Structure 1
Amino acid sequence: MLDLVLPIECGGCGAPSTRWCAACAAELVVRPDEPHVITPRQDPGVPVLALGRYAGARRQAIVGLKEHGRTDLVPPLAGAVAAALGTLIAWGVVVPPVTVVPAPTRSLAARRRGGDPVTKIARMATAGVEGVAVEPVLTMRAFTRDSVGLSSAQRQRNVVGRVRQRAPVRGEAVVFDDVVTTGATAAEAVRVLQTSGTYVSAVLAIAHA
């Protein structure tokens, strides 16, 4: 009866009567050789790693969270990110103490979504993890366009010089984003952090397009 009044469906595949099904959960499992190194069109100068393609349950979960307010999808995405961070630490790519710096987002988009979903995922993924902190110190300057639909060159022009850092970051940093497409935002985020004297060890994304 409750499902008829307030129907729920899986955020990954749309299956009824569940918010996150076992099949979609299996798609987000981080395997021993993951995350994988990817090569975006714009090289930020540090390793860029992603948990998988921007497709299937991974894509639907990100879209559901960002565009449809499905905050119930933060936990499964955060769980995958937590596992990926653990792998990077075990590999020695990331050495604690480390600060996870969420990629910058437009303030208008964050307000529309009830907060920055990338920061929410990062905070949940690192909760209680010793030596790992989250500092959302990067923001987009006003009048930055939404990157959806822009070409690679347009994305680069759209973000160059528009990322600013509000506060210093102590020690090593990892830039974290939900999706890496051309790498323009990641590259500018890395550049800004490095200009302030921060050592950036990697960029980590949930998905790559």
Structure 2
Amino acid sequence: MDLLLPRRCAGCGAPGEHVCARCREVLRSPPRRIHTRVDTHVPVWSFGPYADTHRRVVLAMKEHRNLAVRRHLGAVLAAGIRHLQARGELIDAPVLVPAPTRARHARLRGGDPVAAVCRASGWPVVDALRHGDRVADQVGLGVEKRRENLAGAVQIQRLPGAPVLLIDDVATTGATLAASSEVLFAAGCTVVGAIVICHA
């Protein structure tokens, strides 16, 4: 199979591995606190900017159904959570809640990639959130339009039984994380923060 479909690194395109040693080194950088344009109501950490290696890996897991990359990012996420715990920035045992995605996108992508990354981390995962039917695609929308698009559109389908750590692939304005934390808070849940693979 490698002769017919040779493996190429999702981060740089180099042949031989799903993620090469250089790109693994880039991805293993600890998550850092970021500030989004929309107030998310909780601290947000990111593994890096939406550029170069991070951007290409996110596109591989989302648009190209690269399941191996999703598993690798699960390990990166698990290491990032342990790092934040060691620094005293996270509680000991959060439940991971993937940010909601449109059902149509999940079907086209071979399942929700963010949920797959969460499960690959080995941490408990609860698919607590979903988008309502009227949510439009967020691509190309500005800060206010993203807020309007998500206002009242994120719904709870299952209550997490423990403090929540929200997980998403990219934080652009913070609107999705804000809408997600707001609906969880309104339901009486504790949200301790959010981690994204990268931020724009």
Question: TM-score category by the smaller chain?
Answer: over 0.9
How far residue 121 of structure 1 moved from its aligned partner, in angstroms, is 0.3
- Asked whether the equivalents of residues 144 and 162 of structure 1 are also in contact (C-alpha less than 8 Å), the reply is yes
Instruction: Compare 100-109 and 150-159 and name the one that shifted more.
Output: 150-159
1:140 aligns with 2:136: no
Cα deviation, residue 79, structure 1? 1.6
Equivalences for residues 61-80 of structure 1 within 5 A:
61-80=57-76
State the 1:35 CA deviation. Answer: 1.5
SS at match of 1:25: helix
Which amino acid in structure 1 is aligned with residue 71 of structure 2? P
Partner of 1:200: 191
Q: Secondary structure at the match of 2:80?
A: helix
List structure 1 runs of 4+ shifted beyond 4 angstroms: none
Q: How far 1:3 moved relative to its partner?
A: 4.3
The correspondence for 2:155, drawn from 133, 155, 164, is 164
TM-score by length of 1: 0.91
* Deviation for aligned residue 1:175: 0.7
* Structure 2 equivalent of residue 111 of structure 1: 107
Aligned length: 200
Q: Is the 8 A contact 2:37 2:174 kept in 1?
A: yes
Letter in 1 for 2:82: G
Preserved contact between residue 93 and residue 201 of structure 1 (Cα < 8 Å):
no
Following the alignment from structure 1 to structure 2, what is the Cα–Cα distance between the partners of residues 162 and 180? 18
Moved more, 93-102 or 76-85: 93-102
Counterpart of 1:24 in structure 2 is 23
C-alpha deviation, 1:18, in angstroms: 2.5
Deviation of residue 183 (structure 1)? Answer: 0.1
Distance (Å, rounded) in 2 between the aligned partners of 1:20 and 1:204? 21
CA distance in 1, matches of 2:8, 2:139: 26
2:58 and 2:117 map into 1 onto residues whose CA distance is 11
Alignment deviations for residues 39-63 of structure 1 (CA, whole Å, 9 cap, x no partner): 1000111111111111111111110
Aligned position for 2:116: 120
Who is 2:143 aligned against?
152
Deviation string, structure 1 residues 104-142 (Cα, Å, up to 9, x no partner)? 0001101111110001101111x1xxxx41101100011
Aligned to 2:33: 37
CA deviations on 1:54-82 (whole Å, 9 max, x unpaired) are 11111111101100111111122112111
Quick one: distance in 1 between partners of 2:138 and 2:151? 13
Report the 3-state secondary structure (helix = DSSP H, G, I; strand = E; otherwise coil) of the residue aligned with 1:191: helix
What is the one-letter code of the residue matched to 2:140?
A: G
Could you tell me which runs of 5 or more consecutive residues in structure 1 were left unpaired when the two chains were aligned: none
C-alpha separation between the residues in 2 aligned to 1:57 and 1:26? 10
Deviation at 1:4, TM superposition (A): 4.6
Aligned: 1:184 with 2:175:
yes
SS, match of residue 133 in structure 1: coil
